Copies of this chain bind each other. A is one copy, B any other.
Amino acid sequence: MAKSMSLLWGAGSPPCWRVMITLEEKKLQGYKRKLLSFQKGEHKSQEVLEINPRGQLPAFKHGDLIVNESTAACFYLEKQFQSQGNRLIPDSPAEQALTFQRVMEGLTLTDKLNSVIYYDLLLPEEERHDSGLKRNKETLSTELQLWESYLQNVAAGSYLAGPFSLADVVVYPNVAFAFRFGLSAGRFPKLAKYYSLLKDRPSIRASWPPQWMASTRGYDVLKDL
């Protein structure tokens, strides 16, 4: 099955990483994959645009079917391979409700991280304001405190919806991303615990970004949060 799948991806992109974790969890190793460079603009290449008209990575195919939105690909793979590998949507209504809720909130976390980390990329110079970046940082800090509160029982091995689930698949790459960009483990201890507890989960270790962006510029952008 995995042989009929192909993934165009970029290193260090949380959306790409989500799909890769899901493929590992569902025992779909052996899919074709090709690493492209954001810095060289390869996500806007013809090769990508033919699969993903948005010119974004991931660009994912299963046979002739295309599912490019990372969370959509996770849902699709879980549904198509429900009984293969690990179940990522729990059975109990309470855990199921929490899984869906945290998956979707995870996309808000992604947006708020991007609004700080990529502030300069998102706005032309003449539209940037110190007050805007400051507000985005405050909003992100409030957001991260919310996630800190969601992880009260993480030390006991309870993740975002209890057992490891699609919520963790979607959110963990954002959390790793935040620490990569300087988030303080002292001020976000539950998130730090979550980060380190799941770091060695086989699906996550196997898909860990190999170089995680060539440049080290901006790696302390979240340190004062």
Contact = CB atoms under 8 A, between A and B. Distances in A.
Main secondary structure of the interface of A (DSSP, over half): helix
Given A107-B107, A127-B129, A75 B93 contact: no
B71 A96 contact: no
Nearest to A65: B97
Contacts of A148: none
A206 interface: no
Given A65-B94, A107-B107, A100 B126 contact: no
Interface string A36-80: 000000000000000001100000001011111111110110011
A111 B62 CA distance: 28
Interface residues of A, number: 37
A80 B79 CA distance: 15
A146 interface: yes
A132 interface: yes
Contacts of A75: 75, 100
